[in-house]
Amino acid sequence: MIIVIKRHISIRLEAHTFDFLDDIAKTNGLSRSNAVALAIDIVQDYFSMNQITTEHEVRGIVDGRYTKAG
């Protein structure tokens, strides 16, 4: 028997990323959350942490969160 523990997260995605995940879901008959899980599983299976770190350094990540004026 496999026990699956699920956690809920809140995430803000750019429109093109959300559209891509929708395409994955529709193409494979998945829910959006399962499409996200599939994409993460693929990254984990095919990329080392060093490769992911290098991609992060090359691409950079923009923090798009809003801050409250003090």
CA–CA separation, 51 and 70 (whole Å): 39
- Which pTM does this prediction carry? 0.72
Question: 26-44 pLDDT, tens per residue?
Answer: 999 999 999 999 999 999 9
Evaluate if residue 47 carries a pLDDT over 90. yes
Mean pLDDT of the chain: 88
Distance of CA 61 to the CA centre of its chain: 13
What is the crossing angle of helices 32-46 and 15-28, to 10°?
A: 100
In a domain, 49, yes or no: yes
Q: What is the pLDDT of residue 51?
A: 95
Instruction: List, as one string, the DSSP characters of 19-56.
Output: HHHHHHHHHHT--HHHHHHHHHHHHHHH--HHHHHHHH
* pLDDT band, residue 69 (cuts 50/70/90): low
Report the number of distinct structural domains present in the chain.
1
In a domain, 55, yes or no: yes
* pLDDT band, residue 17 (cuts 50/70/90): very high
In a domain, 24, yes or no: no
